[in-house]
């Protein structure tokens, strides 16, 4: 059993389309716990830090422009195997390849406007969570997590 934390971003297209509640609901119905949440307008420095692994790639500037174009909602999500579980829930990056029933498969239209980001591994999750949240932003919900794990 691996209890993990991951970053989920409801990107500007999810916020503008009114899908944040649907996304959070799917995460919670899957049994994951939201331990921090912020609605924010991302600045360029934070966006470049978030997408640092793509710096130098042809699409980097478009990623930064889009993610800073309107408010987003950042979530810290915890639970058993939360990283892979949330990525499965989100679906493939390309909505045309995302499984029906996944967030992107059900709601996203293009690869450039795919509604949601989820950390792709433990190191990424640690790095990304630190970009969006301070330690004081987290609320302990361990009692909920324990009840979830042990029934």
Residues with active-site annotation:
117
Q: What gap in Å lies between CA 151 and CA 80, rounded to an integer?
A: 13
Query: Can you say whether the dihedral through the CA atoms of 122, 124, 125, 129 is positive or negative?
Result: positive
Q: What gap in Å lies between CA 17 and CA 134, rounded to an integer?
A: 28
| Beta strands at 3-10 and 33-40: parallel, antiparallel or unpaired | unpaired
For 36-102, the three-class secondary structure string (H helix, E strand, C coil) is EEEEECCCHHHHHHHCHHHCCCCCHHHHHHHHCCCCEEEEEEEEECHHHHHHHHHCCCCCCCCCCCC
């Amino acid at each position: 059993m691996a209890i993990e934390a991951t970053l989920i971003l409801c990107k500007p297209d999810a916020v503008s389309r009114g899908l944040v509640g649907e996304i959070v609901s799917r995460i919670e119905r899957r049994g994951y716990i939201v331990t921090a949440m912020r609605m924010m307008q991302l600045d360029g420095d934070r966006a470049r830090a978030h997408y640092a692994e793509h710096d130098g790639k042809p699409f980097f500037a478009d990623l930064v422009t889009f993610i800073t174009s309107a408010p987003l909602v950042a979530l810290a999500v915890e639970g058993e195997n939360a990283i892979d579980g949330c990525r499965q829930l989100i679906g493939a990056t390309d909505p045309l390849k995302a499984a029906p029933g996944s967030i992107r498969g059900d709601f996203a239209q293009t690869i450039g406007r795919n509604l949601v980001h989820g950390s792709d591994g433990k190191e990424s999750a640690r790095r990304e969570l630190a970009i969006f949240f301070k330690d004081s932003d987290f609320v302990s919900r361990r009692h909920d997590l324990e009840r979830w794990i042990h029934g």
